[in-house]
Amino acid sequence: MNETDSISIIEESDKVFANTYKRAQIVIDKGAGVTLWDKEGKSYTDFMAGIAVCGLGHCHPAVVNAVKAQAEKLFHISSLYYVEPQTKLASWLVKSSFADRAFLSNSGAEANEAAIKLARKYFQDKGEKNRFKIITALKSFHGRTYGSLSATGQDKIKKGFHPMLQGFEHVPFNDIKALKEKTDKNTCAIMLEPILGEGGIILPESGYFEEVRKLCNNTGVLLIFDEIQTGIGRTGRLFGYMNFKIEPDIMTLAKALGNGLPIAAMLAKEHIAKAFVPGTHGSTYGGNPIACAGALAVAETIEKEKILDNCLVQGKYFKKQLVNLQKQYAIIKNVRGIGLMIGAELSIDGADVVKKALEKGFLINCVQTNTLRFVPPLIIKKEQIDALIEILDDIFAGL
């Protein structure tokens, strides 16, 4: 097969892969910063960042160099032995957050599985055998493994996979009354995203999380924050919970932690984390030296290059420009977001807008059928935002 022949690659791909993705008909070949190129050399400005993953952009030199250096030293050894990059990463995570302990794995779903298991194990160890129920939000997304899928509050992605695991209940996000009504003597945890990502970039109302924290304090229920999408700078703070006046008991991370490398973390306070003892949980590849080296480079770069400052400045500018578009086009119902996690809710299906943007060289996507989601690399610049706004202006004018 000719390597430059995109059609051949697409045709072969469609023959050999499980049909679980609806892919755009392009073959991405390489990337640098916020730009991607396909096999034919056409460039695309990336406002998706691999679904909020490549916070530092594509092939950031610091991450590339860290991975190269570690790959020449040690690929894998498992967590049966001590490894320096793994230790340093866990230490940075603990030092930078509310937590005392970390567990490393490979994906967001795995991190959430660890959180679910830890919450239940914590109460089992206390002798509260019937305290296993976990309450999550409707429209939430926690992953596609059976535990994380059962926790997810979206029926459409559960279709065909029932029965779900027992012990999960769902309430509307921002509805503290409903949450209180569902919380009982069998509840072990409340598991929430700081911002519903796949749910349509839904933000918490003022005071909501303070009330959730108070509820947990009063009932002894653990608060789990799923920060797979909001963590590592996406909201302009290192972790999403830092935007509110509370701390969770357990937090999960993935996506931007490795800037594209498969790595995730579950963090917890000491008295909860002690429920995990040798043999209770594990991950063959969790804490892989190469992934940890890359994640450490991400951590260092965020601080060195003032990535969070850029996220806040550009996020505010981007949101303002989208609001200006909203004033021109009634098709845009609402613009919302924090930092560089922004949604533009439309009055129509957004699939055609995504397609037209792709044709014009911009990668965006749509969640909940009608909300355009913008989660670009945190290094995005004003000129690149302006270029997308101009394209969106043209697209909306033609609808």
Active site residue 68: no
Q: Which of the following is catalytic: 121, 133, 139, 255? A: 255
Say what the pLDDT of residue 382 is: 98
Angstrom distance (rounded) from CA 66 to CA 258: 11
Q: Residues 132, 238: one domain?
A: yes
Instruction: Answer yes or no: is 69 within a domain.
Output: no
Same domain, 181 and 221: yes
Based on the domain organization, do 214 and 317 belong to the same domain? no
Marked catalytic residue, from 226, 244, 276, 319: 226
Is 394 among the residues known to form the active site?
Answer: no
* In a shared domain, residues 144 and 264: yes
Whether residue 290 sits in one domain with residue 200? yes
Q: Distance between the two ends of the chain, CA-based, in angstroms?
A: 40
Q: Do 267 and 315 belong together in one domain? A: no
Residue pair 288/110 in contact by the 8 Å Cβ criterion: no
Q: Does any domain span residue 177?
A: yes
Angle (nearest 5°) at CA 377 between 373 and 383: 90
Q: Are 287 and 324 in contact (CB under 8 A)?
A: no
Q: Is residue 65 part of a domain?
A: no
Q: Decide if 228 is inside a domain.
A: yes
- List Cβ neighbours of 164 (8 Å cut-off, separation of 6 or more): 146, 149, 150, 158
Residue that finishes a domain, picked among 304, 321, 352: 304
The residue segments making up the domain with residue 310 are: 6-59+306-397
pLDDT along the chain (399 residues), means of 10: 74 93 94 97 97 98 98 95 97 98 98 98 97 98 98 97 97 98 98 98 98 98 98 98 97 98 98 97 96 98 97 98 98 98 98 98 97 98 98 97
Q: Does residue 148 sit in the same domain as residue 289?
A: yes
Query: CA–CA separation, 193 vs 229, rounded Å?
Result: 8
Q: What is the CATH number of the domain that holds 343?
A: 3.90.1150.10
Q: What is the pLDDT of residue 4?
A: 62
pTM of the model: 0.97
Q: What is the pLDDT of residue 2?
A: 43
Q: Do residues 45 and 194 both lie within one domain?
A: no
Domain CATH number, residue 186: 3.40.640.10
Tokens 């830890």 correspond to 118
Q: Determine whether 132 is an active site residue.
A: no
Do 351 and 280 fall within a single domain?
no
Number of domains comprising the chain: 2
